[in-house]
């Protein structure tokens, strides 16, 4: 494996770092999940998206699914999060990491009854905030989607349920 082709061709470097200090969440989904947009695809020029996902004590998390256009990784910061690698479920604890290449079936759930936090990394940096915000709006309004509407929402956001 080699380094990718250069993307910067200057000789002196740039003063263009982005510091994000600990702050309030960018999004709340339902009553228990808070999402921090640490780095979006837009802020990283499409390189990656990194989100801190804080789950409340109530059971929550997506059913098994995969993505066609991006990888997804999970790094557990606190609590216990059930991680599914497409073959089996395992209790993810602080320091545990799961990587899924494109097409990798996966899921996660907090079933511990306690809060839990993890980092979610997408490469390249797809606009996942749109998907998260759609989920938040559905939870907030109580709107019920038909199976067809769920399928269309998932397809717009590269999410294929299995």
- Whether 3 maps to a domain, the answer reads no
Domain that holds residue 133: 27-161
Look-up: residue for tokens 């998907």? 131
Q: Report yes or no on 1 lying in a domain.
A: no
The CA distance from 23 to 3, in Å, is 34
Model confidence pLDDT, tens digit, residues 1-55: 999 999 999 999 999 999 999 989 999 999 899 999 999 999 999 999 999 999 9
The answer to whether residue 46 sits within a structural domain is: yes
Residue 69 burial (CB count, 10 A): 10
Kindly report the CATH number assigned to the domain that includes residue 108: 2.60.120.10
User: For residues 109 and 57, is the Cβ–Cβ distance under 8 A?
Assistant: no
C-alpha separations of 120 from 26, 49, 67, 135 in Å: 15, 8, 14, 16
Bridge partner list, 73? 99, 121
124 located within any domain: yes
In-domain check, residue 14: no
- Over residues 107-145, the pLDDT tens digits come to 999 999 999 999 999 999 999 999 999 999 999 999 999
Domain count, the chain: 1
pTM for the whole structure: 0.95
């Amino acid at each position: 494996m080699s380094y990718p082709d250069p993307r910067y061709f200057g000789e002196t470097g740039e003063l263009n770092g982005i510091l994000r200090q600990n702050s309030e969440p960018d999004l709340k989904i339902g009553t228990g999940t808070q999402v921090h947009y640490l780095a979006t695809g837009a802020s990283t020029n499409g390189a990656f998206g990194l989100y801190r996902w804080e789950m409340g004590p109530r059971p929550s998390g997506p059913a098994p699914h995969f993505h066609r256009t991006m990888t997804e990784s999970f790094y557990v910061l606190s609590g216990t999060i059930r991680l599914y690698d497409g073959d089996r479920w395992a209790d993810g604890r602080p320091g545990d990491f799961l990587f899924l290449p494109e097409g990798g079936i996966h899921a996660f759930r907090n079933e511990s009854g306690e809060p839990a936090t993890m980092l979610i990394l997408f490469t390249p940096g797809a606009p996942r905030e749109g998907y998260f915000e759609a989920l938040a709006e559905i939870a907030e309004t109580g709107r019920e989607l038909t199976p067809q509407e769920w399928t269309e929402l998932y397809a717009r956001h590269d999410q294929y349920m299995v």
